[in-house]
Copies of this chain bind each other. A is one copy, B any other.
Amino acid sequence: MPELTYREAVRDALSQAMRQDDGVFLMGEDIAEMGGSMGVTQGMLEEFGKERVRNTPISEMALAGAAIGASMQGMRPVAEIMYEDFLTLAAEQVVNQAAKIRYMSGGQLTVPVVFRTQGGAGWSPGAQHAQQLEAWFVHIPGLKVVFASTPEDVRGLLWSAIYDDNPVVFFEHRTLYPIKGNVPQEIEPIPIGRARVHREGEDVTVIATGRLVHESLKAAEEAERDGISVEVVDPRTLQPLDEESLVSSVKKTNRAVVAHEAVTRMGFGAEVAAVLQYQAFDWLDAPIERVGAKFSPLPFAPVMEAFVVPHAEDVLTAIKRTVGKA
C-alpha cells in the first residue's frame, strides 16, 4: 500500500484518468505552469500538454459553462474552481444548467462534468477565500456532491466522479492537502453514495465531513479516555446521501453529533439532523448536536478565525453534552 498525500492522491486520480481516456481533460485558472494555486496539478502540464491541462482566463462562468458544453459533446472535463467562494460566480451554470440539462432534455443528454474546488479556513485569508458552501449544492437535484477527507477517499471518489455521467461538485479541503495516508496500489473506485465508518463505537455517533473528520477522530480519542465510546462516520458523498449507514449507526449508539466546518445555520448538518430525527426518532436518547462555524463571515485576525470555525474541542464538548457529561 503506497502512501500518498491528499494532494498527490487527487493528482493521481486525475493523471490516471487522463492516461486511460482521451476525453478527460482539465480546465482552470493557473493549473498549467503553476500547477494550480494548491499545487494539485503540478507536473501535469509536462505530461499531458497545454491542450489537456488548460489554463483559463479569470472567467468562472465561461469556464464552468464551457466544461458543461464539452461534456455535452462527450468529453469528461474536470473544471477547477480555484476557491469555493468563486463557485458563487459559476452558480448559474452549475445550478441552472449542469444540474438540469439532462432533465430538461427528457434524458437526451448527459453532462459528465466534474467541478473540483477547495476551501476552508485555518490560514486567515479573510472572508472571501475560505467559505464552505457544500450545502448549497446538496439542495439542487441533478447534482452529485462529494466531500472527501482522506487520500484514499479523495482518489477513489474523484475517479468515480470523473466517470460518473452526472455533474459532480467535488469539494476538497485546503488544510488536508498535506496529510498522508495509504492508498491501494491500483485505484479502486469508491462508489458515490456510500459512507465510511472511520471508527466504531457504542455511545455516540459523530457524523463529520472534510476537515472535521480528523477533528472528530481526535475528539473521539479524547472521549475514549473519559470512557465514552465514539463512532465516527464520514458520509463522503453528501448527495446522494447514504442515509442508511448514518441511521443504522445512530440506531446503535442512540446519540448523534454532526460536525462540519461550514456555518451551522442551514449547513449540511441541518439536513443530517432532519433525516436522523425522522428515521431514528424512537432510538434517539438525546437531541442531535450540531457542530459548525459560528454565525459570522470569516474574520481575518487568527484569534477570531480560530474562534469561528470548529475544532476537536468543539466536537468533544458536543459529544459530552449528548451523553450528559457536559
Contact = CB atoms under 8 A, between A and B. Distances in A.
Interface of A: 85-86, 88-89, 91-92, 95-96, 99-100, 103-104, 126-128, 133, 135-136, 138-142, 239, 262-263, 265-271, 273-274, 277-279, 281, 284, 286-290, 295-297, 299-300
A102 to B, nearest CB: 9
A103 B138 contact: no
Contacts of A267: 139
A266 B297 contact: no
B91 A88 contact: yes
A278 B265 contact: no
B288 A277 contact: yes
Contacts of A141: 263, 265, 295-297
22 contacts: A88-B92, A89-B92, A91-B92, A96-B128, A100-B127, A100-B297, A103-B297, A136-B136, A139-B263, A139-B265, A140-B263, A141-B296, A142-B296, A270-B271, A270-B274, A273-B277, A273-B278, A274-B288, A274-B290, A277-B288, A278-B289, A278-B290
A87 to B, nearest CB: 8
B297 A99 contact: yes
A262 B293 CA distance: 24
B265 A271 contact: yes
A108 to B, nearest CB: 14
Query: Which of A92, A100, A139, A286 has the most B CB atoms < 10 Å from its CB?
Result: A139
A138 B262 CA distance: 13
5 closest residue pairs by CB, A with B: A139-B266, A273-B274, A281-B287, A88-B91, A88-B92
A92 B268 CA distance: 21
Contacts of A279: 287
A128 B273 CA distance: 29
Contacts of A297: 99-100, 103-104, 141-142
A86 to B, nearest CB: 8
Given A103-B127, A142-B296, A281-B287, 15 more contacts: A88-B95, A91-B91, A96-B128, A133-B139, A135-B266, A138-B265, A139-B267, A141-B265, A141-B295, A141-B297, A265-B271, A266-B268, A266-B271, A273-B278, A278-B289
Contacts of A268: 266
A157 to B, nearest CB: 20
Contacts of A284: 281
A126 B138 contact: no
Nearest to A97: B128
A106 to B, nearest CB: 9
Contacts of A266: 135, 138-139, 268, 270-271
A10 B247 CA distance: 45
A158 to B, nearest CB: 23
A133 B92 CA distance: 12
A99 B265 CA distance: 15
A231 B141 CA distance: 31
Given A89-B91, A297-B99, A135 B128 contact: no
Given A141-B263, A266-B135, A288-B277, A100 B128 contact: yes
